Structure 1
Amino acid sequence: MLLRPTTRAAVWAGLLASCVASAQSPATLRLEDAFERTLSSHPSLQRFALQQDALRAEALTAAQRPPLVVGASLENALGTGDTGGLGGAELSVTVGSSFEPRARRQARVAVVDARVAAVDVQIEAERLDLLAGVARRFVEAAAAQTEVEALRTHVAQRQATVEAAARRVRAGASPQSVQLTAAAALARAELELDRARVTARAARRTLALSWGERDPGFDRVATDLLRLPVLPSFAELARLLERTPELRKFASETRVREARVQLARTQSRPDVAWEAGVRRLQDTGDTAFLGSVSIALGSQARAAPGIRSAEAELEALAFERDAGALMLYATLAEASGRAEVEALAVQRAESTILPALSKAEASARSAYQAGALTYLEWAQLQADWLAARRDQIAAARSTHLALIEIQRLTATPVGAWQESTP
């Protein structure tokens, strides 16, 4: 049975909880809202309900006993001599079936039940993948939005240089070329800002398509991209890896294959077919009871290849799980390492690099206005500040994408581990 969208959305709301703020404006989208909208409308989740209906029907079929067969036969009729016409005809009416080993029917039902359980794991995996995709698009929209904010600050810086250069030109302290150069730099900054706005708009549209909305009904995403959660140790993450649907599906598949082994083994026990009925002898007017029992020979020999095949598939699954676990462990290690490295870059930029560049830019402004610094030196500091901010945004984006991958692998909300830190 499909879980309610709100249940899974509540669990996944912990993802990026550190960067999601409460939205005051209806034009601001929260991550929880994006999850809920996606789960309530995405078509990929609806198909599982039909798949489960089909499996329930298969379970009813698997539980059925062998059918009763009603038959009739006419002998010694429409021939020649004494068998001419219907005078010596013998009419038999029978009913028959077979005694199927009870274990076989139970094994068939067990196979279907195991497949139903496997579908539940598939649903969980599909939800995790779907919500991870939504979270990634949310991060892309947040990164584009933060880029716009950084460029607004940069445009303001460039405007300040244009105004300062104009004052120096009017005072005769700088040539006209300095003012023109500053104006050109401002125009380039404004162009970059316009491009960033278009990119942010496209990112919001891509995010809205997650739940089938072609025209986004929001102008912003509620987020502080630069706030990051503190992750547990890698050892704890590795322990949480056991809960991932990608490994749980092997447990479900193991139950399916074990049930198939049992079903294959029941084929070595033959069915006992029976038939009973009455026969009417037309020439004497008498009736007689008839019955028959038949057993197929060589059932064990015919069942042996199927048993070997089912057992081999079951044994192979253990190696598949080991290989899958190694791959997931490597992916977790890579994502954890990337998150740690990129988070360090974000924090170092916030605590050291950007404050130093901001102070240097402010000092350069005063020095330029006093004639102690050239325009190019001041403009270079502004460019350095923008480059550092962009590096920080890129590192924060990479950190959150790595956190989403960790969330997907461990099926655990990142925000549930520890409060976020600036």
Structure 2
Amino acid sequence: MWLRLAALAAFVAVSVAPARAQPSVVLSLDDAFARVARTHPDLRLVDGQQRVLAAEAEVAALRPGLTAGASVENALGTGDVSGFGGAEISLTLAGVLERGGKWDARRTLAQSRIDALAVQRETRRLDLLAEVARRYLAITAAQRQRVVALDDIEQRTRTVAAARQRLAAGASPESVLLTAQAALTRAELERDRADRLLMSARQHLAALWGERDPGFDTVAGNPLALPAVADFGELAALLDSTPELARFADERRIREARVQLARSERSANVDWQFGVRRLQENGDTGLMASVAIPLGSARRAEPGIRAAEAELALVEIEREAEGLALYSTLAEAHGRYRTAQFEAKRLDEAVLPKLAKAERAAERAYRAGAISYLEWAQLQSERTSARRQQLDAALDAQRALIEIQRLTGQPFVAAAPAQGTSP
């Protein structure tokens, strides 16, 4: 069920205008996912662990080995046993007969550990793809911040031109022009800041697949496009199938195998030996055999059995604790998404259009001498501030959406109209 987090590209719906005049290399979120899936060491580490556990499983499947031996008695002594005349030479073959199902228990435990790797890998993969989406979102945020800054620069440029005209006509003092120029410089500073953030975010994303010099210029996506998300009850029902909780099923099988292995220690192994003995003194030979069984095996096995059974009982408690933590995190992320989505939508539909109309009306009034520069500049600042507030809300919603998808392992592909289209 743990689908690829392709739907983290829900905000990758509208291309952002490239920051450079020359053709740009645009990276999609799916491309970023594919690069990380191919190269990131976290996933290769799990593959390496599988080879280790496979080798351990081969060892666990081995039966106890046989031991060949030879012994010499009554040789190189004194009197009748001087030299080798009275020596007794024995050739033996010895082994261990395992009892209590130890061999099956070892194999079951080894295989359970191998089976658990699949869920571990999926958990790491989802966490890694969520991190890719966060870093990708940081780039789209910097690009959108640059768009807002460029729009602010365009506003301030018109203000400087109007202030210069009024100064030339003697209708306003030089201080108004200087103030307008300072506001323009601050807007240019915000653009430059966005450029620096964009460069840093590109390097941060490319580092996930080991690229020192990013081979892309921009990314596709509009963080203001927020998709529809299911109700919290529907999302909470998906938690039972997430890798974070599914791993406890594998952990339970591992601990059950350990309990079985511990219980098998109640049955003592049988050490056997079979061989041939030759008496040098008269040249006679005879068979020899022995069997040894350690005593008190059941009593010595009890502490290990109790420990294994206690660990098995902890699985359900650990799963319950993890389920509560996931539920709380999902509730917080879902609430944060809905709140931020509502805020971004209201700003787009009810605030920004009015501020845009007010700013255009203020420009006409200022050029006609009906209002002061401060009134026009304040409206420009209000509009830019509202656009930044909308972007901040949308980014908060996108981060919450990434967390929701990481927790549930489910994509959300419901189309949402792009916001931020107000003039």
- Match for 1:30 among 28, 31, 37? 28
How far the C-alpha of 1:146 sits from its partner, in A, is 0.3
- Match for 2:114 among 106, 113, 116? 116
CA distance in 2 between partners of 1:67 and 1:381 (Å): 87
- Match for 1:302 among 300, 303, 327? 300
How far the C-alpha of 1:26 sits from its partner, in A, is 5.4
- 2:232 equivalent in structure 1: 234
Per-residue CA distance 1:372-409 (angstroms, 9 max, x = gap): 11110000011011111111111111111111111111
Is contact 1:349-1:392 (8 Å) kept? yes
Is contact 2:132-2:205 (8 Å) kept? yes
- Match for 2:39 among 28, 35, 41? 41
CA distance in 1 between partners of 2:100 and 2:10 (Å): 54
Does 1:186 pair with 2:184? yes
Identity of aligned residues (%): 51
Describe the SS at the equivalent of 1:189.
helix
How far the C-alpha of 1:100 sits from its partner, in A, is 0.7
* TM-score when normalising by structure 1: 0.95
Is contact 1:16-1:400 (8 Å) kept? no
- Match for 2:197 among 196, 199, 224? 199
CA shift in 2, pair 1:67/1:95, >3 Å: same
- 2:421 equivalent in structure 1: none
CA distance in 2 between partners of 1:354 and 1:383 (Å): 12
- Match for 1:421 among 405, 417, 423? 417
How far the C-alpha of 1:18 sits from its partner, in A, is 3.9
Does 1:15 pair with 2:8? yes
- 1:380 equivalent in structure 2: 378
How far the C-alpha of 1:421 sits from its partner, in A, is 3.2
- 1:101 equivalent in structure 2: 99
CA shift in 2, pair 1:32/1:273, >3 Å: same
How far the C-alpha of 1:15 sits from its partner, in A, is 1.5
Describe the SS at the equivalent of 1:228.
coil
Is contact 2:24-2:216 (8 Å) kept? yes
- Match for 1:292 among 290, 295, 301? 290
Q: Which amino acid aligns with 1:403?
A: L
- Match for 1:331 among 329, 332, 337? 329
How far the C-alpha of 1:187 sits from its partner, in A, is 1.2
How far the C-alpha of 1:289 sits from its partner, in A, is 0.6
CA distance in 1 between partners of 2:375 and 2:214 (Å): 42
How far the C-alpha of 1:141 sits from its partner, in A, is 0.9
Is contact 1:18-1:419 (8 Å) kept? no
CA distance in 2 between partners of 1:263 and 1:152 (Å): 69
Q: Which amino acid aligns with 1:34?
A: A
Gaps of 5+ in 1: 1-7
How far the C-alpha of 1:102 sits from its partner, in A, is 6.2
- 1:135 equivalent in structure 2: 133
CA distance in 2 between partners of 1:179 and 1:292 (Å): 109
Is contact 2:245-2:322 (8 Å) kept? yes
Is contact 1:21-1:30 (8 Å) kept? no
Does 1:275 pair with 2:273? yes
How far the C-alpha of 1:229 sits from its partner, in A, is 0.8
CA distance in 2 between partners of 1:357 and 1:171 (Å): 29
Is contact 2:85-2:280 (8 Å) kept? yes
Q: Which amino acid aligns with 1:151?
A: A
How far the C-alpha of 1:368 sits from its partner, in A, is 0.8
Describe the SS at the equivalent of 1:16.
helix
Of 192-201 and 359-368, more deviation after overlay is shown by 192-201
- Match for 2:351 among 338, 350, 353? 353
Is contact 1:274-1:293 (8 Å) kept? yes
CA distance in 1 between partners of 2:14 and 2:180 (Å): 38
Of 228-237 and 179-188, more deviation after overlay is shown by 179-188
Q: Which amino acid aligns with 1:386?
A: T
Aligned residue pairs total 412
- Match for 1:389 among 387, 390, 404? 387
How far the C-alpha of 1:46 sits from its partner, in A, is 1.2
How far the C-alpha of 1:420 sits from its partner, in A, is 2.5
Per-residue CA distance 1:347-370 (angstroms, 9 max, x = gap): 111111111111110111111111
- 2:247 equivalent in structure 1: 249
How far the C-alpha of 1:19 sits from its partner, in A, is 2.6
CA distance in 1 between partners of 2:405 and 2:99 (Å): 47
How far the C-alpha of 1:411 sits from its partner, in A, is 1.0
How far the C-alpha of 1:20 sits from its partner, in A, is 3.7
CA distance in 1 between partners of 2:5 and 2:339 (Å): 24
Q: Which amino acid aligns with 1:17?
A: A
* TM-score when normalising by structure 2: 0.95
CA distance in 2 between partners of 1:51 and 1:324 (Å): 25
Is contact 2:13-2:225 (8 Å) kept? no
CA distance in 2 between partners of 1:369 and 1:362 (Å): 11
Q: Which amino acid aligns with 1:301?
A: R
Is contact 2:163-2:176 (8 Å) kept? yes
CA distance in 2 between partners of 1:22 and 1:175 (Å): 44
Gaps of 5+ in 2: 419-423
